[in-house]
Amino acid sequence: MEIRCLFSFAVEKIWLRNGQLSIGRSIPIGKTVSSRSPSNLGFANLDGKTAVVTGSSSGIGRAIALELAVAGADVVIHARESIKDADEVKQRVEQLGRRSKCLLLDVSQSEEFPEFIDHAWSVWGKVDIWVNNAGVDLLTGEAAKLPYDQKLERLFEVDVRSTVLLSQLVAERMTDQSAGCILNIGWDQADRGMDGPSGELFATSKSAIMGFTRSLAVSVAPDVRVNCIAPGWIKTAWGETASGEWQDRVLRETPLARWGTPEDIAKLARFLCSDEASYITGQVINANGGAVR
């Protein structure tokens, strides 16, 4: 893929230095630049990096996988069983000029984790970025009808246990290669609290992930960084079908007065996985449109 500059210059990077606005190297008019070139990737450049994103066949995981590819990373796409959806994301990554591979795994089956990680590392010989995004959907479909205790069990089996056990195995590999970044997914209201059964259940499981993130970051520093994004109201499968009452509540509770998008989360993930975030570890970062209640 090539990008042709039609203006007198294309800004590579803008930043503040000593209170002054600085502009990075420009591209002369008419110059053709390969989209693979690091100079074209700009801020949060991931060129030459390899990434694994679990649960990346749809939703937030899909957006993260594509954003990492835009930044220059080669990406392993993971799905539980839908190779069709995973392959669609793989093709999108390849259209961006990056390499991609699909791997299937039921993250509730922890005995398969070592083999899955072996496969992930064997694809390109290393993994620089690991995103634990896979999680169970208890808000739509038949799972929404499960009783409280079964929902709790599923959340800990799929969300918490897989994040903890995969992270431990991945951190060992990354420590051996003296570098790496692990990114987990929490929930902003795990800290603030939310009424109702779903609020209680998700706060319980996501609090565990957020606390684990902080502790693992201390354990594996300085070679490996571990952070967590805590999304707010993001319009994924449930948000698309939410009732008018919920739509009103989201706008009322969000100072920026809109739903977040998977792409909003993906852009933050790109930054946290890049060298620009090399001094950030053990942090849980809210991406929730300013909600503080």
Q: What is the pTM of this model?
A: 0.84
Is the predicted pLDDT of residue 204 greater than 80, yes or no?
yes
* Range from 21-25, 70-74, 103-107, 270-274 carrying the lowest mean pLDDT: 21-25
pLDDT in tens, 11-38: 334 344 444 444 343 334 333 334 454 4
Domain segments of the chain: what residues? 1-42, 44-287
| Mean pLDDT taken over the chain | 86
What confidence score (pLDDT) does residue 19 get? Answer: 41
pLDDT in tens, 112-165: 999 999 999 999 999 999 999 999 887 777 888 889 999 999 999 999 999 999
d(CA 45, CA 76): 18
The rounded radius of gyration (Å) of the Cα atoms in the chain is 20
What confidence score (pLDDT) does residue 293 get? Answer: 65
Read off the amino acid at residue 135: G
Task: Identify the CATH homologous superfamily for domain 44-287.
Answer: NAD(P)-binding Rossmann-like Domain (3.40.50.720)
What confidence score (pLDDT) does residue 41 get? Answer: 61
- Residues of the chain with pLDDT > 70: what percent? 85
The larger pLDDT score, comparing residue 77 to residue 10, is at 77
